[in-house]
Amino acid sequence: MKFSLSWLRDHLDTTASLDDICATLNRIGLEVENVDDPTERLAGFRTAKILEASRHPDADRLQLCRVSAGKGFEEVQVVCGAPNARTGLHVIFAPPGTYIPGSDMTIKPGKIRGQTSNGMLCSLRELGIGEETNGIAELPDGAPLGEDYVRYAKLDDPVIEIAITPNRGDALSVRGIARDLAAAGLGTLKPWLTKTVEGQGDCPIRWELDHPACSYVTGRLIRGVKNGPSPAWLQRRLESVGLRPQSALVDVTNYLMMNIGRPLHVFDASRLTGGRLSLTSGMGEHFRALDGQELILGKDDLVIVDDAGVQSLAGIIGGEASAVTNETVDVFVESALFDPVRIALTGRRLGVQTDARYRFERGVDPALVRSGLEAATALIVELCGGTPSEVTEAGAEPAWQRTASLRFERLATLGGLEIETDRAVDILEALGFEVQDRTAEKAVFSVPSWRNDVAAGHGLAQSETLDAAVAAQAAASVESMEAEADLVEEVLRIRGLDEVPALSLPRAHMVPAPAVTAQQARASLLRRLCAGRGLMETVGFSFVSDQDAALFEEVREDDRLLNPIATDLNQLRPTSIINLLRALGRNLAHGQGFAGDASFFELGPCFGQQGNRLVLAGVRGGVSARAPGQPAAEPSWMDAKADLMAVLTALGVAEASLSSTQDAPSYYHPGRSGVVRQGPKLVLGSFGELHPRVARHFGLGGTVALFEVTLDKVPLPKVKRKAAPALSALQPVRRDFAFLADRNVQIQDVLKAVRMADRKLITDVRLFDVFEGGSVPAGHRSLGVEVTLQPQKDSLTDAQLDALMAAVESSVQKATGATLRR
């Protein structure tokens, strides 16, 4: 919504400055988006006169102009290329240092083709206020010299543009804005009175209203008008808000729409047929609008028709067939009230956006239908002459009268601001709300006609389970609460939205809770880890057949389903390995698994003798893909152990704290499996190859490697800040050992003994070879161990290395009896 400062002062008696007005608008919720002040934008331009114009000696299309522009520029030379520059012409002069908005440049003194030029003679386009022309602007002969052009042209009128929220249809008029500013204490609202124009004779054009989207329509014929350009003051008003003046009749309707928020339309009465206008639905007609668009109208569109066809798209845009022209003698003025929803839907469907539609779909003042027509009649008669007829109308002004109550304590409890009751009442009265009843606790106000957003009566829809009386009572209760909230909003808005204290929502903790729990984060980590190791995730039923479950542990009746979804899903699974083996069998049967693809994992609940627990399990089957120099191979227990150790490492379990024993469950291969423990009692998981007996039951051939980790037994790592790694600048040293050990000696005991030789220098110990037979004595085996030494301060000398090697040999022999092979 745009309006000029002088236009605002037609309704508001105020001495406030432009800055004060803008600050107040922002404070009361009418956000200022832009201020265009020509006084600043066109600073420096002044009126002048060409004393003499002569041909440039070195250019055919340039002229040397001696220009007089008042004090300081009594006589200056300007080189000008405009064809209309001539002696005695009054012009607009831009002295050096002036910014030219239309050309985006600043004038500087200089020479053009060898001749001095100290300024510029301008066109209106170069000032940014006119159309393209073939020359400079020509001022009247009586124009003074050296006067500021903005003041001379009466352009010193700032234009303010504000943003309007959809509920504030009343603020789409200069008067509505002035009313808000007056209520905010920035002046006094001037009275706006329109006299009733006495008609002479009946109107020969009558209305026929048979459509629910229009409740009230009025009109009047004015005979003998003389249309033409509107006066300068009216053109300036319209131009200031971005509307192009057209003719006096059209300009009057646009002026009143912006001035008081009342959209109107004028028809050339001589181009109407049949003496009647009907409001009805479209019937597929082709309609040419005033802007030249060809529209096809449908049954949901409200139109105004005469005997010849559609003459107007009601509430949105008129038609070319009945448009007024400079030859118009008799004009018919229409003022009506249309349904906002119907106007919005029609405009959206047809893609037509007009100022009238913008106001109707947000709600206009229902009490201005007749008075708006009277105001238009008076202004048309004043500007164009003519004789008005009596008013013709159909329908009736809707019953917009309603009340709203305000409990004063709600200003603090709902609005959060303590306001004196008298001040609250004064604010509402200044906005047009009249007190009907008042006590110490509350007041009842009548709502003005222009505030259709307050106590609008949204109500509740009646349903089959809600009788009419209950629905009406509920609707009244909702409307009362909404109306009270509207009044609180109005008081706070005028008091100043910037004074409402900010209140943060309460927080239970200063640090917000994490989006996922530690268990959820751990599950997500393990899924990514297993996928990265080539296993595909499956999600299986928690039910299996009792025959499958019996292969893994003794079946418990407590885990039997009384009403299974299928006969082969009648038992809670003791392990998810069962589901994975079934999935592996189906994939192998379809030819998968011959390129390393038959590898699966599942993270889910398991039941049985060990209780309910969360288990991560995985299986590998088939053979790996063949490659040059690398034959296809089946998975082994070492692959399963590698998967298990990778999982435990990702969960933060130190590998040095783990040990392996050969007491895996019975469904594992007895010689190619193991259990991983942390300490002597805590079993974290198991790994190995599937027992051949179980493999035959599932119809699996070849080797199947599998692992299981009971996640409930793996402790969550303590949350602590990790220290930066102590990286040494020295090169690590690696040494290999071959220990001769009895077959009954556990390999992990040997590795542990090596670590214990020197915990600071030895950073890694790995088994790289196990050999039996040959020169190794019967009942023994040779264990190849790689030891990594990482010095921190000084490089190790040969003597230090020899001493460390001896310490490793001694530690292993003492702990396990193994000796170093010579």
301 is in an annotated binding site: no
- Strand runs (DSSP E) across 565-608, as ranges? 571-572, 599-606
Q: What are phi and psi of 626, to 5 degrees?
A: -80, 150
Whether the CB-CB separation of 205 and 219 falls below 8 Å is answered with yes
Angstrom distance (rounded) from CA 248 to CA 589 = 90
- Residues 80, 102 contacting (CB under 8 angstroms): no
User: Three-state secondary structure along 640-687?
Assistant: HHHHHHHHHHHCCCCHHHEEEECCCCCCEEEEEEEEEEECCCEEEEEE
Contact 287, 350 (CB under 8 A): no
- The whole-angstrom separation of Cα 761 and Cα 794 is 11
State yes or no: 382 annotated in a binding site: no
> Beta-carbon neighbour count of residue 666 at 10 Å?
11
Contact 455, 486 (CB under 8 A): yes
State the residue for tokens 């102009």: 65
In this structure, what token pair is assigned to residue 438? 């008042």
Helix axes 174-183, 421-430, angle to 10 degrees: 160
Rounded to 5 degrees, φ, ψ at 442 are -150, 170
List Cβ<8 Å contacts ≥24 apart for 240-244: 240/2, 240/3, 240/4, 240/7, 240/157, 240/159, 241/2, 241/3, 241/4, 241/7, 241/159, 242/2, 243/355
φ and ψ of 11, to 5 deg: -110, -20
List helix spans (H) across 441-594. 468-496, 518-532, 546-550, 577-589
Beta carbons of 618 and 706 less than 8 angstroms apart = yes
Q: Are 753 and 812 in contact (CB under 8 A)?
A: yes
For residues 750 and 734, the answer to whether their CB atoms sit within 8 Å is no
What is the spatial distance between Cα 738 and Cα 770, in angstroms, rounded to a whole number? Answer: 9
Q: How far apart are alpha carbons 357 and 35 in whole angstroms?
A: 25
Residue with tokens 């020479």: 111
Residue indicated by tokens 């050990």: 741
Residues 222 and 203: beta-carbon distance below 8 Å: no
| Matching residue, tokens 């690590």 | 732
- The CA distance from 361 to 345, in Å, is 9
**CB-based contacts of 445: which residues, under 8 Å, 6+ apart?**
403, 404, 405, 406, 428, 433, 434, 435, 436, 487
Is 397 marked as binding a ligand? no
Beta-ladder partners of 620: 599, 705
Query: Hey, is 93 helix, strand or coil?
Result: strand
**In Å, how far are 227, 248, 268, 272, 330 from 324, measured between CA atoms?**
9, 10, 5, 11, 9
> Strand 32-36 relative to strand 403-407: parallel, antiparallel, unpaired?
unpaired
Residue 771: what are its φ and ψ, rounded to 5°?
-135, 135
Helix ranges, 660-797 (H): 692-697, 747-756
Give the number of residues written for the chain.
Answer: 822
* Residue whose entry in the numeric block shows the structure tokens 């509402």: 428
What is d(CA 313, CA 320) in angstroms, rounded to the nearest whole number?
11
Tokens representing 586? Answer: 């189906």
Task: Report the alpha-carbon distance of residue 268 to residue 804 in Å, rounded.
Answer: 113
CB 616 within 8 A of CB 651: no
The verdict on whether residue 320 carries a ligand-binding annotation is no
For residue 803, how far is the Cα from the chain centroid?
70
Place of tokens 């402790």: 715
Q: Which residue matches tokens 């007190």?
A: 435
Question: Residue ranges for the binding site?
Answer: 453, 486, 489-490
Binding residues for Mg(2+): 453, 486, 489-490
